[in-house]
């Protein structure tokens, strides 16, 4: 019975590492590319900002993937909460793109939903405390 529990905990921790790494990459991409696009006052700002965002996202992906298991549980909780922001924003913007409430799902609403998702994940992981891998 102990072997099965350890295997399940290891698999859960592995999936949590993958999801945290991918979410952190998406969040970092957004948090780098969007301000650079807004700060550059040229027509083709995205040609500079997107590669920078992709490079920063790749660095975040590699950093989280290799170091997630060695982090203190409080820091892991913060990383998982940070990783929730990007996918939540992209999901809301995706809904707006496919015309599901286009007038309702603005960029401001997407950022608010991302911040709410980040706070909800942080609080939820603090309330459970006994999550495998955290």
* pLDDT (0 to 100) of residue 119: 96
Distance CA 44, CA 27 (A): 22
Q: Where are the domains of the chain?
A: 2-128
Tens digits of per-residue pLDDT, 96-126?
888 887 788 888 999 999 999 999 999 998 8
The percent of residues above 90 in pLDDT, for the chain, comes to: 66
How high is the pLDDT of residue 6? 54
User: Taking phi first (over 0 means left), then psi (-120 to 50 degrees means alpha), and beta for anything else, what does residue 48 get?
Assistant: alpha
Query: Model's pTM, two decimal places?
Result: 0.83
Name, in order, each residue with C-beta under 8 angstroms of 80's C-beta and a sequence gap of 6 or more: 16, 19, 20, 23, 121, 125, 134
- pLDDT tens, residue by residue, 36-58: 999 998 889 999 999 999 999 99
Q: Which residues contact 45 (CB under 8 A, 6 or more apart)?
A: 36, 37, 39
pLDDT at 11 over 90: no
pLDDT in tens, 64-96: 999 998 999 889 999 999 999 999 999 999 998
Where helices occur in 40-106 by DSSP H, the ranges are 46-67, 73-97
Q: Measured between alpha carbons, how far is 17 from 94 in angstroms, rounded to an integer?
A: 25
Residue 6 contacts residue 127 (beta carbons within 8 Å): no
Q: State the pLDDT at residue 128.
A: 74
């Amino acid at each position: 019975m102990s072997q099965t529990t350890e295997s399940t905990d290891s698999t859960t921790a592995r999936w949590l590492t993958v999801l945290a790494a991918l979410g952190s990459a998406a969040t970092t991409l957004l948090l780098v590319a969007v301000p650079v696009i807004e700060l550059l006052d040229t027509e083709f700002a995205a040609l500079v900002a997107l590669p920078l965002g992709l490079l920063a996202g790749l660095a975040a992906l590699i950093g989280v993937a290799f170091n997630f298991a060695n982090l203190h549980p409080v820091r892991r909780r913060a990383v998982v909460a940070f990783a929730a922001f990007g996918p939540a924003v992209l999901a809301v913007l995706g809904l707006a793109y496919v015309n599901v409430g286009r007038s309702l799902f603005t960029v401001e609403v997407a950022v608010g939903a991302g911040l709410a998702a980040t706070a909800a994940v942080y609080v939820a992981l603090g309330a459970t405390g006994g999550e495998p891998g955290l």
